[in-house]
Amino acid sequence: MMRILIIGGGSVGGKLATDLRDPFVLVESDPSRVWELREMLGFDDDSRNVVHGDGTSRETLEPLSNDIEAAVVLMNRDSENLEAVSTLKELGIKKIIARVNRSENMARFMEFGAEVFLHPTGYEEGLIRTMLYPDTKHAIQIFVREGSPAIGRSIRELELPEGTVIGSILREDRLIPPEPSLVIQNGDLIALDTVGSGARKAWRIFSRTGRIGPSGHILIPLSRERDLTAVKEGEMLAKSLGSEMIFIVRPGSEELLKTVGGFISKRIPFKVIHSNNSTREMMEGSRRISWERKERHEMELMSILEEHMREGAPHVDLVILPPPSKPPIYFPFLPQSIDRLIEGSPIPVLVSRNPKTYRRILMYIHSRSTQEINIAIEIARTTGARITALYKRPNRKRAQYLQRFAQVYRVEVDIVRFAGNPTVELIKEVKRNLHDLILLKSNLKELQTSQMRRLVHLGERSVIVVP
């Protein structure tokens, strides 16, 4: 018998607890849900099997961790799950299974030795059981979602692991016999029997491509000589992060591409996308036709970004843009196309000004900063930079979260608390010119949009704006 700790008593945690054959302890932070779970699982009101507590806190987990052999972490946020995983690891729990919401966070969980699955997969509790009991026979159900590599392939072509048999496929309201020639479609619910590690292999075949490892894509539009700074900074980042570079080339900029190809290190993989006429026609068909010609490039880029996001492949991690030219008098109240692009971009945008390796990164911590912390840690640990993080008293917990991860990844971090206005304090720190990279979140309530635009247009340093 194996004792299992479940952190997070949502619908998946509840269903998992209902079907588990081994003893378990479930931790849930919502008191009313604890009461509900106790009633659902048939425990008394003072049961120690369903416990109320904070799943990320050591004080909650330590007393429960005795004799625990496996833990399943199922909270809603990756940041909470990662915090719980790191605490469980410290408490010596060997087998940790964690839910990951964003594919780019998978690598971080795996570094703690956790087994991960990407949420939502469709039938998570079944998948968790296959991970908890890898040597037994399992019946699992997989919901095929957009972005799955299995879509458009026949069952024969899927190369299912040995011992795996598809029982049935539910498509809309119809049960379809699993003929070898049947082509898998988006939205299919597939029931299959499998043994041992075959379950995880099968899951990988059907589920969305979860990017594993720190690699990603850096997207750089090319049109002017000035874009070469962005290329150099992109190269530096690609080298550090192990990312692939994607160049978007406008018709007429092919010569520039030759120059770029000449000085980019051969070890860095890159590919080229030509911005085609269809994109242009689409843009001209839109209401934006009245915009000035020079703005079209940014709109095209936005359209390409949107297409990438829609198709789900390749996964873009960062767009690098060259700095806009400095006007003699700058009015931040009239947004330019680059402002619209940055403020509306679904992925982080870096306005490049510094092709050298970063030494210091400046960031502002707010109540929801998770993605910025992840990006800052990732860049800092691969480039050896030191992070300066500004925060105001109510966001102390987020600052502690950063500090903790900085310790784990051996990143040097200075946490600076301030009392005044966030925008003013941030600009004051920027003006000290100590930092090579500034990391911010766009459309943040406490930061003045006009000053953020000034940083993009008039700043001396590179800026990453995270959506």
Which of 170-178, 258-266, 398-406, 439-447 is the region at the interface with another protein (rule: CB under 8 A)?
A: 439-447
Which listed residue (196, 423, 442, 460) binds another protein by CB under 8 A? 423
Which listed residue (28, 372, 425, 436) binds another protein by CB under 8 A? 425
Which of 78-86, 101-109, 127-135, 425-433 is the region at the interface with another protein (rule: CB under 8 A)?
A: 425-433
Q: What is the DSSP letter of 357?
A: P
Q: Helical H runs in 345-461?
A: 371-383, 396-408, 422-431, 449-458
Which of 23-31, 47-55, 102-110, 416-424 is the region at the interface with another protein (rule: CB under 8 A)?
A: 416-424
According to the 3-state scheme, what is the secondary structure of 279-313?
HHHHHHHCHHHHCCHHHHHHHHHHHHHHHHHHHCC
Does residue 263 touch another protein according to CB under 8 A?
Answer: no
Does residue 36 touch another protein according to CB under 8 A?
Answer: no
Which listed residue (295, 427, 460, 467) binds another protein by CB under 8 A? 427
The strands making up 50-52's β-sheet, listed across from edge to edge, are 50-52, 24-28, 3-7, 68-73, 95-100, 115-118
Which of 4-12, 145-153, 330-338, 355-363 is the region at the interface with another protein (rule: CB under 8 A)?
A: 330-338
Does residue 49 touch another protein according to CB under 8 A?
Answer: no
Q: Which of 306, 245, 316, 269 is nearest to 103 (CA)?
A: 316
**Binding string to another protein for residues 144 to 173, with x set by CB under 8 A, is what?**
------------------------------
Q: Is 192 within 8 Å of 164 (Cβ atoms)?
A: yes
Does residue 448 touch another protein according to CB under 8 A?
Answer: yes
Amino acid at 15: K
Minimum gap (Å) between residue 149 Cβ and another protein: 39
Minimum gap (Å) between residue 416 Cβ and another protein: 13
Q: Is 399 within 8 Å of 365 (Cβ atoms)?
A: yes
How many residues lie near another protein (CB under 8 A)? 21
Does residue 252 touch another protein according to CB under 8 A?
Answer: no
CA separation for the pair 306, 345 (Å, rounded): 8
Minimum gap (Å) between residue 439 Cβ and another protein: 18
Q: Phi then psi for 398, rounded to 5 degrees?
A: -65, -40
CA separation for the pair 55, 74 (Å, rounded): 10
Per residue in 72-95, is it b (16+ CB within 10 Å) or e — as a string?
Answer: bbbbeebbbbbbbbbbbbebebeb
Q: According to CB under 8 A, which residues from 332 to 361 bind another protein?
A: 332-333
**Quick one: tokens of 101?**
């919401």
Does residue 445 touch another protein according to CB under 8 A?
Answer: yes
Minimum gap (Å) between residue 465 Cβ and another protein: 17
Minimum gap (Å) between residue 463 Cβ and another protein: 14
Using the minimum distance from each CB to another protein, give the nearer residue, 92 or 394.
394
Which listed residue (31, 410, 420, 433) binds another protein by CB under 8 A? 420
Does residue 267 touch another protein according to CB under 8 A?
Answer: no
Q: Is 50 within 8 Å of 64 (Cβ atoms)?
A: no
Q: Which of 122, 123, 86, 115 is nearest to 99 (CA)?
A: 115
Using the minimum distance from each CB to another protein, give the nearer residue, 1 or 419.
419
Which of 12-20, 45-53, 290-298, 441-449 is the region at the interface with another protein (rule: CB under 8 A)?
A: 441-449
Which of 26-34, 131-139, 164-172, 420-428 is the region at the interface with another protein (rule: CB under 8 A)?
A: 420-428
Question: Parallel, antiparallel, or unpaired for β 349-351 and 318-321?
Answer: parallel
List, as one string, the DSSP characters of 194-249: EETTHHHHHHHHHS-----SS--EEEEEE-STTHHHHHHHHHHHHHHHTPEEEEEE
Q: Is 308 within 8 Å of 275 (Cβ atoms)?
A: no
**Quick one: tokens of 63?**
């007393």
Minimum gap (Å) between residue 288 Cβ and another protein: 17
Q: Which residues make up the interface to another protein (CB under 8 A)?
A: 331-333, 419-425, 427-428, 431, 445-448, 450-451, 454, 458
